Structure 1
Amino acid sequence: MMSDPQITVIVPAYNVAGLILPCLASIMAQSRADWQAIVVDDGSTDATADEIRTLDDPRISLVQQKNAGVSAARNNGLSLAQGRFVMFLDGDDVLNPTAFARLAAALDARADAVAAFGTFLKILPSGAPYPGQKPLALHRYPDGDVLEPMLRGNFLANGGHVLIRTEVARRLGGFDTRLRLSEDWEFWCRLAAEGEFAFIGTEPEVFSLRVRPGSSSGGLSVDWANHQPCLDTIGGNATIRARFSAPTWRKLERAMRASQMWECGRVNFTMRHYREARMLMLGALRLEPTPKRVAMIVAAEVQRRTNRTFVSRLRFRDQDVAADL
């Protein structure tokens, strides 16, 4: 392993045999060579670890642990990170070759930024492009102080398009292992309270997110009770609350609850749990009414009654319905 890696990419991996090698190949293909990759195998029961061992690159290390969840795996890797910057890349996703160079340059240029991020594309399990995506040039993200927009709704896909100052991630204690759902959003909120985020622009994408059916987060998202612990954790964070006046915080709490309620409704809708979806979406509308939410509820009802697709899975997420960022 290099003696002075500048970038550490932490790859939590659980049963991603057949996908982990393309992920690691995308790291090995980076235009910057001063990186280390720590793959944390979270108790996989398939050939994930065996596939990793076939690679002959001293910059890649394999750490194995009993199954403890993605947050524990990420935190394990964080404790071993040597680079100034750290990224959390899921074991089935794929980086653009320029990802490290562009993100690190943004952080080097902005001392006040705790993280840098870019855009992403979605791909099918086969690696083919996910259909119906919005062109990258049309993506809009906040830059600078992003705490309020982050509280209103997680605008990041996952850690695969975010580079973070390692010292800040460690000071925050990494991810909250008590949370089973939205643990990444809770971490991004704490991170955004620490400093600015640098958006590096729309093109090219930083990484490709592999969309696979049956994800654990999707299974948990269908139950509204699973969303509450994260909301309680963020709402109880004194550092975050101190950034806002009492009236503003009350509005933000309503917006956060509405965002999570809408997301839970979206998942229920895609699973054809129409009664639950309608109650949740109307609940979100009551908490924070927006014209786009009204339009989406009408479109969803037409789709339910006619079985014609007006609302795609891609465009039904709350961050697409809330205020444009």
Structure 2
Amino acid sequence: MPVYNGEKFLAEAIESVLSQSFQDFELICVNDGSTDGSQQIIDSFLDSRLKRLSQTNAGQASARNCGIKFCKGNLISFLDQDDVYLPTCIEERVKYFHKSDSYSFIYNDFMIIDKNSTVVNPSVLKWRKTKSISGKCFNELFLNGTFISPSSVMMEKEIFDKIGLFDETLWGADDYDLWLRISYYYSIGFVPSPLNKYRVHSQNFSKNNSIMENRTALAILKAVENFPDVDKLVGKREMKKRLYQVCFDTAYSNLKVGDLNPAYYWLKKAWHWGRKPKTLLILVATKYFGALVGKYYSRKASE
């Protein structure tokens, strides 16, 4: 559990783990340089299964990596500081592993709750109106983005020996990058029961669209660079279409907040993958009339 200034929801998150029906686990809380009362909340739980680590603030990915290196178990789950496990969460995940030898990584359906812990939707699958996805999932993840929440996964620790840890340079999309790497090498299992609660509130990092889209685009480009057969796996046309769209959308997000340099960078990438006249027009306008273009898109975003 990576922790950074999470005092508002942290006690509920920790309690949801310590009260699990499955008892044979260690909960590793990594305090990532919190400046609020998070450490005091962690220390208030007098349970031998709770392990306490601290580091200077380095980001969520770094905190997760710190916990991974410390853990002793062969199965690893994650829980964000504002999310909650249902009482049988770990038990059901472990049962799934025991039932099937086909998967080294699984994820489950989950509920959505608000800042008051009220259930907004009892199933993310029904909310998104999508079907469960399992097996070879790389194509789906690459072409359509992530459908896996970090708090909904369990995986064998040895996976990290093969693919490495969370990429700390991709904070905000470090989980998506990891899922892409895992799905390239491994089949993924899906547990249909909602086993955890994902909290939506005003402080969710994922609400910062500009940063998220920049990091997501970098994660996708990283996958193309690291896996040269992506064009064969997903189809060359589909790959170029995906790369164009994510680069263009990222440029647009940067234009809306007035970040012209990254906008120009992503427009060049979009032009490379799409060669669309509209993209070239915005690219040239951004280069020579950046201030005006920035004002135009900022005003458009506020309308």
Same fold (TM over 0.5): yes
Letter matched to residue 181 of structure 1? G
Aligned equivalents of 2:53, 2:4: Cα separation in 1: 12
Following superposition, the deviation at residue 254 of structure 1 comes to 2.6
1:121-149 CA distances to partner (integer Å, 9 max, x unpaired)? Answer: 11111111236976749651211111111
Going from structure 1 to structure 2, the CA distance change for 1:46 and 1:245 (only over 3 Å counts) comes to same
- Unaligned segments of structure 1, at least 5 residues: 1-10, 288-303, 308-325
Q: Residue 153 of structure 1 contacts residue 256 of structure 1 at CA under 8 Å; is this kept in 2?
A: no
TM-score, normalising length from structure 2? 0.76
Spell out the pairing of 1:1-325 with structure 2 (5 A cutoff): 11-130=1-120, 136=126, 139-201=130-192, 203=193, 205-219=194-208, 221=210, 225-238=214-227, 241-242=228-229, 245=232, 248-255=235-242, 257-258=244-245
Q: Residue 88 of structure 1 contacts residue 160 of structure 1 at CA under 8 Å; is this kept in 2?
A: yes
Could you say what secondary structure the match of 2:158 adopts? helix
Going from structure 1 to structure 2, the CA distance change for 1:48 and 1:243 (only over 3 Å counts) comes to same
Letter matched to residue 103 of structure 1? R
Following superposition, the deviation at residue 180 of structure 1 comes to 3.0
Following superposition, the deviation at residue 157 of structure 1 comes to 4.4
Aligned sequence identity (%): 21
1:275-303 CA distances to partner (integer Å, 9 max, x unpaired)? Answer: x9xxx9xx9xx97xxxxxxxxxxxxxxxx
1 or 2, which has the higher helix percentage?
A: 2
Going from structure 1 to structure 2, the CA distance change for 1:135 and 1:225 (only over 3 Å counts) comes to closer
Aligned equivalents of 2:141, 2:57: Cα separation in 1: 30
Letter matched to residue 181 of structure 2? R
Aligned equivalents of 2:122, 2:154: Cα separation in 1: 27
Q: Name which one, 1 or 2, has greater alpha-carbon Rg.
A: 2
Following superposition, the deviation at residue 156 of structure 1 comes to 2.9
Could you say what secondary structure the match of 2:182 adopts? helix
TM-score, normalising length from structure 1? 0.71
Aligned equivalents of 2:219, 2:66: Cα separation in 1: 21
2:294 corresponds in structure 1 to: none
Aligned length, in residue pairs: 267
Following superposition, the deviation at residue 220 of structure 1 comes to 5.1
Could you say what secondary structure the match of 1:119 adopts? strand
Going from structure 1 to structure 2, the CA distance change for 1:136 and 1:29 (only over 3 Å counts) comes to farther
Aligned equivalents of 1:214, 1:232: Cα separation in 2: 28
2:278 corresponds in structure 1 to: none
Aligned equivalents of 1:268, 1:229: Cα separation in 2: 17
Aligned equivalents of 1:157, 1:267: Cα separation in 2: 25
What root-mean-square deviation, in Å, do the aligned CA atoms of Structure 1 and Structure 2 show?
Answer: 3.4
Going from structure 1 to structure 2, the CA distance change for 1:261 and 1:82 (only over 3 Å counts) comes to farther
1:198-251 CA distances to partner (integer Å, 9 max, x unpaired)? Answer: 1111x3x1211111214334325368545432222122113xx43662781452
Letter matched to residue 140 of structure 2? P
